[in-house]
Amino acid sequence: MTTTDAFESYLAKSNLRVTKERQQLYDGVRAQKGHFTVDTLVHRLKESGYAISRDTVYRNLPLLLEAGVVRQSFRAGRETIYEVDEGKPHHDHLLCSQCGKVEEFVDPKIEALQEDVARQFEFELQHHCHQLVGICKKCRKS
Amino acid sequence: MTTTDAFESYLAKSNLRVTKERQQLYDGVRAQKGHFTVDTLVHRLKESGYAISRDTVYRNLPLLLEAGVVRQSFRAGRETIYEVDEGKPHHDHLLCSQCGKVEEFVDPKIEALQEDVARQFEFELQHHCHQLVGICKKCRKS
DNA sequence: CTCTTATTGCAATTCAGTCTTAATAGGAAT
DNA sequence: ATTCCTATTAAGACTGAATTGCAATAAGAG
């Protein structure tokens, strides 16, 4: 299965239609490097000649999330930040409250402890949101 | 120092005025049990005879946060959920995605590992946002 | 008591995200 | 291919949380 099929096979499985917009959205999303917001995504899609409405993006985001194409990364103020979720392993974020710098980290021990907590409360863990906020080295110097 | 002075001493230290609204806001906030949103807070303040505008609440929330009176708890959809930050030790949240149930947990090992991560990236940790999302026992049965 | 200026309430505004609706197009059945 | 049903789309109105500008008010220093 080529990577191009990932979203289409999800759509087929869910009895959803493969539209031009969904294909373009999939392409556009995968072209994103790093973190992005819905607005920047729409803007970049337009630049690439894909005129997909903001609503269509919003409507299809749950599908892209479900299909494992994108991942809700974190929230910066009002905006939700997304990132591509293909190939890249799970990780959490460390943000600088001064300059907005974003670092990614993974800690298997924390992941395991999260599972323990969920088990303890008899929850079936679906996902988690874990952000550390602090001041980076550079900002601390000024 | 009585607990009533906590906010006032913070205001004094910061060269901010002690207004009727700030005193009432402080009282009102401390009367909140559990989690609350800005709107519910304004509503309850009004019920208690404290007619404080929503704007004043928004404007003073950063001060209350800074003074350690309230704490940003987590976000539910668009709304920011707050909770009183006096007496209560730090804790994180476990949410049920089906029924919205909120459990609180503390794990000293996770806390320590967060410090380790921050140290590794040379960040000075200020706070963190840690929510586990899953399905609770009751919801899993239906 | 007076005066300066922080603070307040109001109204207008912003902005992410949602909803409504009419038009369009996917794709199954024929 | 053609028809038809219905999912999906774009446009724009709308929502609700949060912010801002401004004129009126009141804290508290002198």
Nearest to B125 among A116, A125, A132 (CB): A132
Average pLDDT in chain B: 92
Whether residue B100 is found in the same domain as residue B135: yes
Which pLDDT score is estimated for B4? Answer: 54
Side-chain-side CA neighbours of B10 within 13 Å: the count stands at: 16
Which pLDDT score is estimated for A4? Answer: 53
What is the span of the domain harbouring residue A133?
92-140
Whether residue A65 is found in the same domain as residue A117: no
Q: Give the total number of structural domains in chain A.
A: 2
The CATH number for A26's domain is: 1.10.10.10
| A62: its two tokens | 């749950």
Whether residue B102 is found in the same domain as residue B66: no
Whether residue B69 is found in the same domain as residue B113: no
Whether residue B77 is found in the same domain as residue B104: no
Among the three residues B36, B52, B84, which one is the final residue of a domain in this structure? Answer: B84
User: Judged by CB atoms within 8 Å, which residues 54-93 of B form the interface with A?
Assistant: 75
Which pLDDT score is estimated for A2? Answer: 45
Whether residue A127 is found in the same domain as residue A102: yes
Cα separation, B105 vs B92, whole angstroms:
5
Confidence category of residue A1, pLDDT binned at 50, 70, 90: very low
Among the three residues A84, A101, A126, which one is the final residue of a domain in this structure? Answer: A84
Q: For A22-75, how does the pLDDT look when each residue is reduced to its tens digit (9 = 90+)?
A: 999 999 999 998 899 999 999 999 999 999 999 999 999 999 999 999 999 998
Q: What is the mean pLDDT of the segment spanning A125-137? A: 93
Do the bridges between strand B124-135 and strand B92-96 make them parallel or antiparallel, or are there none, so unpaired?
parallel
Straight-line distance from CA A16 to C1' D4, in Å?
A: 18
Q: For B7-47, how does the pLDDT look when each residue is reduced to its tens digit (9 = 90+)?
A: 999 999 999 999 999 999 999 999 998 899 999 999 999 99
The CATH number for A113's domain is: 3.30.1490.190
Whether residue B127 is found in the same domain as residue B67: no
Helix B108-120 to helix A108-120 angle (10° resolution) is: 160
Q: For B58-86, how does the pLDDT look when each residue is reduced to its tens digit (9 = 90+)?
A: 999 999 999 999 999 998 888 999 999 98
Which residue in chain A has the smallest CA separation from B106?
A117
Lookup result for tokens 């909140």: B32
